[in-house]
Structure 1
Amino acid sequence: MPSQEEFEAWAAQLVGVIAGEIRRYRQRQGLSVQQLSDQIAAEYGMQIKRSVLSNLELGHRSTISVVELLILAKVLRVPPLLLLFPLGRQESVEILPDYTAEVWQAARWFTSEKPFPPKLACEAGELQLPPEDVESWEHGATPARAYREHDWLINQHSRAVTNASRARYTAAEDHKQVQDAQRKRDLIQEGIKGETPPSDKQLAILTEASIVLRSLLDRQEMNRRYCDAECERARELEKILAGQRRQMRQQGLIPPLLGPDLEHLDELIPDQ
């Protein structure tokens, strides 16, 4: 167990990482410390004095609140995660006293994507967490995992609907071209009816027009089939989404809000 001094040193070091990123993103935005302070007050009514921000950036302040972290991240237009874990800026971070891990692995733990990361200096055989720790993490990460799966399903549904819409539009455009090609082929055919026999040139023109028409018909049919397939895929995804939302409610979770195009899903799910 770390001593009080070691704990305070770690806390100050972690705040120092955040402070360094705040300074970097502030400078990237072209803001002075005073301008940052003024913008926070104007947008959120929170008073973080210039002197407080200066002390933070200079390492003279060893604490930062969650509220301050969130507001600073929003004003600086950066995800809060990147203030805490500077991805691409350093290889490792001391996420707990005397516990240094790779920045990316620490960030994935923070976002519930992965279990608690191994120490950076561990031997290869020591990298795995005990099974009970992994099981505990998996249970604790259930809400985030459910939301990610829900988001993935929403994105897949949106893609299927978009694909179907594009294919339907293309098929409609193809239909116009098919009609034009059909008329052109019919005119050519009508023009050589009286020729006995038709000349090679006339037959070549007719053949070319027929090939163009066949190609357009095939493309139209392909787009229709693709549209039907994507519509069916969207319907199947809606069924899966409805089941996912039902399962989330059974787990005591509140499912994400749905857009107008999917609000009907919850009409199929009884209140739990």
Structure 2
Amino acid sequence: MSAQALADACAEIGYEIPRTVIANLENGRRASVEIADLLVLAKALKVPPIALLMPVGVAGSIEVLPGQEVSVWDAVTWFTAEVPLSEEPPEGTIEAKLYEFRLHAQVLSAARKAVEFADGTRRTLSMVRDPEQRAINVEMQEKLDDYARHQLTDLRAQRNAMRKEGLVPPALPEDLAYVDFHVDEKGDIYPLV
């Protein structure tokens, strides 16, 4: 993409970065960039902002601080405050908060897949005509439904744990919004708090 095409793409986003500024960044005449510029350039280039900061897949190491060179992957994980999910970060840290959001993303993904699989299987199994096979399918469907309910329970528990820590969980996809509601024995629906 040419400097002018990139400048035009930035303007389409609603944030103008002149072609001359882009050319100066490209050839090293400008050494710094504003955060807003970085975000808009990333959007215009259709890459995550980290790709403009770290040479992922291009170099083996990078100088993250003066005189401190580390592998590019270590630099990326430091920058994004990643902690392996097998290791919980210290309580009260930003790493702990980010850990909860990453855990939420994993639990949400598992719940969505379980619900989609159970629903898809239900539609397929309903077409079976053989009574013996139908009985086997009903038993299998019950197990799939139980698994989906278990995943949804885990999702609700994760969201409640986040709220208990003072965090605001991300919005749920529309098809799973009911996870944040409670239905009482009368059928009345209440938001979880």
Equivalent residue, structure 1, for 2:123: 169
Q: Could you tell me which residue of structure 2 aligns to residue 22 of structure 1? A: none
TM-score (norm 1): 0.61
* 1:251 correspondence with 2:165: yes
SS at match of 2:69: strand
Bigger Cα Rg: 1
Q: What's the Cα RMSD here? A: 2.2
Match of 2:5 among 35, 53, 56: 35
Counterpart Cα distance in 2 of 1:73 and 1:154 = 27
Deviation at 1:137, TM superposition (A): 8.8
* Correspondence 1:113 to 2:82: yes
SS at match of 2:128: helix
Counterpart selection for 1:65 from 34, 37, 44: 34
Is the 8 Å Cα contact of residues 163 and 227 (structure 1) preserved in structure 2?
no
Runs of 4+ more than 4 Å apart: 134-138
Q: Which structure has the higher relative contact order (CA within 8 Å, separation 6+)? A: 1
Q: Give the length in aligned residue pairs.
A: 182
**Cα pair 2:111 2:155 within 8 Å, conserved:** no
In 1, Cα distance between equivalents of 2:18 and 2:89? 45
Distance in 1 (alpha carbons) for counterparts of 2:98 and 2:180: 20
For residue 136 of structure 1, report the CA deviation from its aligned partner: 5.1
Structure 2 residue 47 is the aligned partner of structure 1 residue 78: yes
Cα displacement string for residues 53-91 of structure 1 (whole angstroms, at most 9, x for unaligned residues): 111110110101111111101110111111111211000
Letter in 2 for 1:161: V
Q: Report the counterpart of residue 188 of structure 2 in structure 1.
A: none
Distance 1:97 1:136, change over 3 A: farther
Distance 2:90 2:177 in 1: 34
Matched, 1:99 2:68: yes
Secondary structure at the aligned position of 1:236 is classed as: helix
State the shift of 1:225 in Å. 2.4
Quick check: 2:42–2:49 contact (8 Å CA) kept in 1? yes
**Could you list the runs of 5+ residues in structure 1 that have no partner in the other structure?**
1-30, 116-133, 180-216
Change (3 A) 1:135 1:246: closer
Q: What CA distance in whole angstroms lies between the structure 1 residues aligned with 2:97 and 2:6?
A: 35
Q: Which structure shows the bigger proportion of residues in strand conformation? A: 2
* Shift in Å, 1:234: 1.6
Contact 1:165 1:227 in 2 (8 A): no
* 8 Å Cα contact 1:170/1:223 also seen in 2: no
Unaligned runs of 5+ in 2: 183-190
Cα 1:99–1:89 change in 2 (3 A) is same
Aligned to 1:235: 149
